[in-house]
Amino acid sequence: MLNIFRSLARSKRAMVFVDYEYWFYSYKNKYNLRPDTAAWRAELEKQFDIEDIMIFADFSSPGIGEELVKLRNITNTIIETGTATQYRKKDMTDFVMLDYIYQNVTSRNDVGTYIIFTGDGHFQSVVKYLVQKRHKKVVVYGVTDTFSKRLQGVASDIRLLPDEEELNNSYMRMIVSNLAHVETKANIIPTFWGTIEAVSKRNNVPDDRVKATLLRMMANGYVFQKDFSINSSKQVRIVAADWKKIKAAGLYDEG
């Protein structure tokens, strides 16, 4: 009976390894989002006994460098990979993270689950090793449409982000950004359908998702329609933003 409890405890005990460059830039470039790391850790803690969360990235660039403050709220183990020069810079984070994973599984027999956040196919070998040779459960998190199929195929479990709530937030921010842009352009008339087309093309996202989000924003009072005079004889309906409400919701930051 004691062995069963020990086995259960070991299976819930987890080490977490995060390629934060991958997470940060995938979110930024594809969804105009920033990772909600606090919510992610809270979700992990509902399922696992977290031994440590190890964050790997080159934080020398201004955008990702600003993430350090919030990352220190979820872990003390942040590995700066931008200082070493013996490997190509783009491969450094992968190399360092892989090394730490191999070292950890060699020295920690009490950990039954490895949680790895990366979409890079380079991690296929280490995941296969953990699962097949070391008999570990490996949960791999990846960003939708950036996640190696080969890597997915060898993991015990895969989790895709962003979730629906994050996606909705992303689409709202895209629409808000577009409305802010057109307010500075007297030659652009932001009609309902014109806004949908512009946001879809600019961000390479499905127009039906943009339409659904815009309608939801109108229903919630973030966006409204009004008449706009093109000339003395012609009016059109345009969409406009309730900036006070949008800023209060944290959907737009000036500058």
- Rounded to 10 degrees, what is the CA torsion of 68, 72, 76, 82? 0
- At 182, give phi and psi (nearest 5°): -70, -20
34-88 pLDDT, tens digit each? 899 999 999 999 999 999 999 999 998 889 999 999 999 999 999 999 865 545 5
Residue that terminates a domain, selected from 127, 143, 162: 162
Q: Do residue 26 and residue 71 come from a single domain?
A: yes
Q: Report the phi/psi class of residue 193: left, alpha or beta, with left for phi > 0 and alpha for psi in -120 to 50.
A: alpha
Residue that terminates a domain, selected from 162, 181, 204: 162
Instruction: Judge contact between 53 and 77, C-beta under 8 A.
Output: yes
According to the model, what pLDDT value does residue 2 have? 45
Q: Do residue 57 and residue 101 come from a single domain?
A: yes
In a domain, 231, yes or no: yes
The CATH number covering residue 79 comes to: 3.40.50.1010
Residues 159, 168: Cα–Cα separation, whole Å: 18
212-253 pLDDT, tens digit each? 999 999 999 999 999 888 777 788 999 999 999 999 998 887
Q: Do residue 126 and residue 176 come from a single domain?
A: no
Residues 213, 32: Cα–Cα separation, whole Å: 15
pTM of the predicted model, to two decimals? 0.78
DSSP E strand stretches across the chain = 13-19, 49-57, 77-80, 113-117, 137-143, 157-161, 223-231, 234-241
The CATH number covering residue 204 comes to: 1.10.10.10
According to the model, what pLDDT value does residue 243 have? 95
Could you give the C-alpha distances from 2 to 5, 6, 8, 9, 231, in angstroms and in order? Answer: 5, 6, 10, 11, 83
Average pLDDT over residues 20-38: 91
The number of domains in the chain is 2
In a domain, 213, yes or no: yes
According to the model, what pLDDT value does residue 165 have? 87
According to the model, what pLDDT value does residue 85 have? 52
In a domain, 255, yes or no: no
Higher pLDDT, 90 or 249: 249
117-167 pLDDT, tens digit each? 999 999 999 999 999 999 999 999 999 999 999 999 999 999 999 998 888
In a domain, 254, yes or no: no
C-alpha atoms less than 13 angstroms from C-alpha of 245 in its C-beta half-sphere: 12
174-207 pLDDT, tens digit each? 999 999 999 888 888 899 999 999 999 988 888 9
Q: Do residue 170 and residue 116 come from a single domain?
A: no
Q: Do residue 156 and residue 100 come from a single domain?
A: yes
Q: Do residue 63 and residue 134 come from a single domain?
A: yes
Residue that terminates a domain, selected from 143, 162, 181: 162
Q: Do residue 63 and residue 182 come from a single domain?
A: no
Length of the chain in terms of residues written: 255
Q: Do residue 192 and residue 121 come from a single domain?
A: no
Q: Do residue 174 and residue 144 come from a single domain?
A: no
Identify the CA nearest to 121 among candidates 100, 90, 152, 145.
152
Instruction: Judge contact between 19 and 7, C-beta under 8 A.
Output: no
Domain limits at 140? 1-162
Q: Do residue 33 and residue 62 come from a single domain?
A: yes
Residues 40, 73: Cα–Cα separation, whole Å: 12
Q: Do residue 158 and residue 190 come from a single domain?
A: no
According to the model, what pLDDT value does residue 232 have? 72
- Beta-carbon contacts of 113 under 8 Å, excluding residues fewer than 6 positions away, are 11, 12, 13, 14, 15, 48, 136, 137, 138, 139
- At 139, give phi and psi (nearest 5°): -100, 120
Q: Do residue 24 and residue 147 come from a single domain?
A: yes
According to the model, what pLDDT value does residue 89 have? 59
Residue 7 reports pLDDT greater than 60:
no
Instruction: Judge contact between 10 and 49, C-beta under 8 A.
Output: no
